[in-house]
Amino acid sequence: MNARTFTDSYIRNLQSKARPYKRSESARKGEGRFIVRVLPNGIKEFFYRYRVNGQDKTLALGRYGGGRTLADITREFREKRDLQANTGDVKNYILAEKRRAELVARQGTFGQLLDAYVEILEAAGKTSAKQVNGLFKRHVRDPFPSLVKLKANEITAEDVTSILARMVNRGITRQVNVLRAYLRAAFQHGAEAAHDPRTIARDGVLFGLSGNPVATVKKIPEFERVGDRALNEHELGAFWKSLEILSVVPRTTLRLNLALGGQRPKQLLRATWKSFDLEKKTLLLSDSKGRGGSRDHLLPLTDFAIEQLKPLIQLNGGLEKAENVFPPFASDGKRGMVLETLSKAVRTVSDELEKSQQIPKFQLRDLRRTCETMLQELGIAREVRAHLLSHGRTAGVQGKHYERYNFLTEKQQALQKWADKLQHILAPKARSKGGGFGEAPRESGLKLPASTFPTGENIPERENYNFAIGPTATASSRTPRTGQTES
């Protein structure tokens, strides 16, 4: 190859040959070479050739003509030559910059980060997804529209503090820490997504997070409500009896859940009629709380629990119709009751008991604590209670992959003890054969097969009918005899 300085006339006069050939400019040692390659079809391509660690590397500079002059190409050559001198490998530098630009283009906004987290919760079947999305909308998206448009990696701890401070100024307490926890989880998910091969493979949104801005934002301890309210036997009995002031669906739902040992109300309300197997006397719930998606939570149904279910079957027109048409806990026969309705029902009864019997106020969540406390008093082992009430049980390899025993026998024994305990609380001195408490129902024309229930009795048709425990109780069992103290 001849060494020379390129000019426009020189480049124009290079003639094509049968095979490609190259020409290069002269240059000082170590600077690399400015090269033109002439193809058989007359096209002239330019390159910058340089050496790194004894190996030649070539960087394309484009074609001559078509609007590109030799001056344009020479200018680009000199820029690349200077980059080579500053970076040590201009080609690798350009590739790295291109990749960085692609990643920046894929970096999502704060709003996209929140959306992605909600989508993850929905995909995992988490019932909290709707609540989380509502929190994000009320306290982040709507009041801070400019923040949600920023890149997620531009959000600072000060931004998060401002979001939470607004809630504090509005008199919000408990939800401050709740939102903080969800924001921290959202940023954690965003950071992990960048290292998930599936995200890279599908060209998903990345967030370029180098840290979690929520981590240094202080949790407010005084806003945490650590529950310690547990009803005693007298209060629980009074609560059960006072449920009479409610309509049939919330009243029956609350009594059924008490009979089941205090399950998480959300899980119970998600059950369908197909969740109940009255022949095998089981109820299959789905527990989506915690990590790892939903898991089955199988419960035995005692005779006592089945008695509580009867009014819902009667309300829905019999077991056959109910199974095919209506959800079990339906206030209007069509739409399932929501958790807030049940919470409000408990508050209503609690307010009434505070006025009439000076019983300290309590909430829906206190009933679950009450049940477990009394189960503990009955001597039910901690592990059995954990399975009965579906506490977290999957920690470790052994629990995650190998332990598949459902503790159904132990749960049945525990719930039977619990049923006996409840019936004693409700009628300590005089318990009917059926263990009943409440007004004796009047007969109706509705007949259920004997196989549906152990006793095979009829179900009354009265909207506000209360089949509290058993079919043989009388109205007199609701009023203590003279000198007898209710407990």
8-64 confidence digits (pLDDT tens): 999 999 999 999 999 999 888 888 999 999 999 999 999 999 999 889 999 999 999
> pLDDT value at position 328?
87
> Into how many domains does the chain fold?
3
Residue 442's pLDDT band, with cuts at 50, 70 and 90, is: very low
Q: Is the confidence at residue 257, as pLDDT, over 60?
A: yes
> Domain holding 405: CATH number?
1.10.443.10
In this structure, of 220-224, 232-236, 251-255, 399-403, the range with the lowest mean pLDDT score is 399-403
Domain-located, residue 128? yes
CA distances from 208 to 96, 110, 118, 154, 262 (A): 16, 11, 19, 9, 44
The angle that helices 233-242 and 339-357 make with each other, rounded to 10 degrees, is 110
Higher-confidence position of 280 and 201: 280
What is the rounded distance in angstroms from the CA atom of residue 390 to the CA atom of residue 384? 10
**Of the candidates 97, 124, 140, which is a domain's last residue?**
97
Domain-located, residue 162? yes
Phi, psi of 336 (to 5 degrees): -65, 145
> pLDDT value at position 332?
63
The per-residue pLDDT of the chain, averaged, comes to 81
Provide mean pLDDT across the span 254-267: 95
Domain-located, residue 122? yes
Domain-located, residue 328? yes
Indicate whether 128 and 87 sit together in one domain: no
What is the rounded distance in angstroms from the CA atom of residue 339 to the CA atom of residue 158? 35
**Of the candidates 97, 126, 143, which is a domain's last residue?**
97
Provide mean pLDDT across the span 438-466: 33
Indicate whether 305 and 175 sit together in one domain: no
Residue 407's pLDDT band, with cuts at 50, 70 and 90, is: confident
In this structure, of 101-110, 199-208, 221-230, 238-247, the range with the lowest mean pLDDT score is 199-208
Indicate whether 155 and 201 sit together in one domain: yes
Domain-located, residue 409? yes
Indicate whether 84 and 141 sit together in one domain: no
**Of the candidates 97, 132, 160, which is a domain's last residue?**
97
Q: Which of 303, 170, 464, 68 is nearest to 77 (CA)?
A: 68
Indicate whether 163 and 287 sit together in one domain: no
Domain-located, residue 82? yes
Q: For residues 408 and 300, is the Cβ–Cβ distance under 8 A?
A: yes
Q: Is the confidence at residue 416, as pLDDT, over 50?
A: yes
| pLDDT per residue as tens digits for the range 284-324 | 998 766 555 567 899 999 999 999 999 988 887 666 666 66
Indicate whether 152 and 259 sit together in one domain: no
Indicate whether 14 and 135 sit together in one domain: no
Domain-located, residue 483? no
Most confident of 88-102, 255-269, 328-342, 431-445: 255-269
> pLDDT value at position 155?
95
Indicate whether 210 and 357 sit together in one domain: no
Q: Is the confidence at residue 145, as pLDDT, over 80?
A: yes
Residue type, 93: Y
Residue 469's pLDDT band, with cuts at 50, 70 and 90, is: very low
Provide mean pLDDT across the span 145-149: 95
Provide mean pLDDT across the span 139-157: 95
Q: Where in the sequence is the domain holding 417, given as residue range(s)?
A: 233-478
| pLDDT per residue as tens digits for the range 194-206 | 676 665 555 567 7
> pLDDT value at position 448?
34
Indicate whether 301 and 352 sit together in one domain: yes
Indicate whether 199 and 74 sit together in one domain: no
Higher-confidence position of 21 and 444: 21
Higher-confidence position of 199 and 271: 271
What is the rounded distance in angstroms from the CA atom of residue 121 to the CA atom of residue 115? 10
Structure token digits, residue 15: 């003639």
Q: Is the confidence at residue 240, as pLDDT, over 70?
A: yes
Q: Is the confidence at residue 456, as pLDDT, over 60?
A: no
> pLDDT value at position 385?
94
> pLDDT value at position 206?
78
Q: For residues 40 and 18, is the Cβ–Cβ distance under 8 A?
A: yes
Indicate whether 62 and 149 sit together in one domain: no
> pLDDT value at position 103?
66
> Domain holding 172: CATH number?
1.10.150.130
Residue 437's pLDDT band, with cuts at 50, 70 and 90, is: very low
Indicate whether 187 and 252 sit together in one domain: no
> Domain holding 36: CATH number?
3.30.160.390
Q: Is the confidence at residue 444, as pLDDT, over 60?
A: no
- Other C-beta atoms closer than 10 Å to the C-beta of 162 total 13
Q: For residues 36 and 8, is the Cβ–Cβ distance under 8 A?
A: no
What is the rounded distance in angstroms from the CA atom of residue 381 to the CA atom of residue 386? 9
Q: Is the confidence at residue 429, as pLDDT, over 80?
A: no
Q: Is the confidence at residue 482, as pLDDT, over 50?
A: no
